[in-house]
Amino acid sequence: MYVCMCHAVTEAQVKQKIDEGANTPRQIAQGCKAGTDCGSCVRRIQALLGEHGARPCPTARLAERLGLADPAAATAAVTAPQAA
């Protein structure tokens, strides 16, 4: 199945780039040009990154480090005003 119609990049090619260490849509684009033209495939690329073991986003890593199950809670913990 094609992920990027502009550059004829398949889902298998995107998964291969993820297996090779790509962690962001930009890194996928550098490897196979997917997402560099009209951009309509970027959300699908992001989903594939999430589904296939790419490193989680910084907020998710922070949530894990703080022992929080919900990344939104990690953001709230970091941005909440400190009690006096």
Residues 14 and 44 in one domain: yes
Q: What's the pLDDT score for residue 4?
A: 97
- DSSP conformation class of 74: H
- For residues 33 and 7, membership in a common domain is answered with yes
Which CATH number do you get for residue 9? 1.10.10.1100
Instruction: Determine the pLDDT at residue 82.
Output: 60
Q: Give residue 63's domain range.
A: 56-84
| pLDDT score recorded for residue 52 | 82
Q: Are residues 7 and 45 in the same domain?
A: yes
- Averages of pLDDT over runs of 10 residues in the chain (84 residues) are 96 94 92 95 92 68 72 55 59
Are residues 13 and 46 both part of a single domain? yes
Tell the burial category of 21 from Cβ atoms under 10 Å away from its Cβ (0-12, 13-18, 19+). Answer: exposed
pLDDT at 14: 96
Q: How high is the pLDDT of residue 83?
A: 59
Q: Are 15 and 52 in contact (CB under 8 A)?
A: yes
Same-domain check for residues 31 and 7: yes
Q: What is the value of pTM for the model shown? A: 0.63
pLDDT score of 33: 96
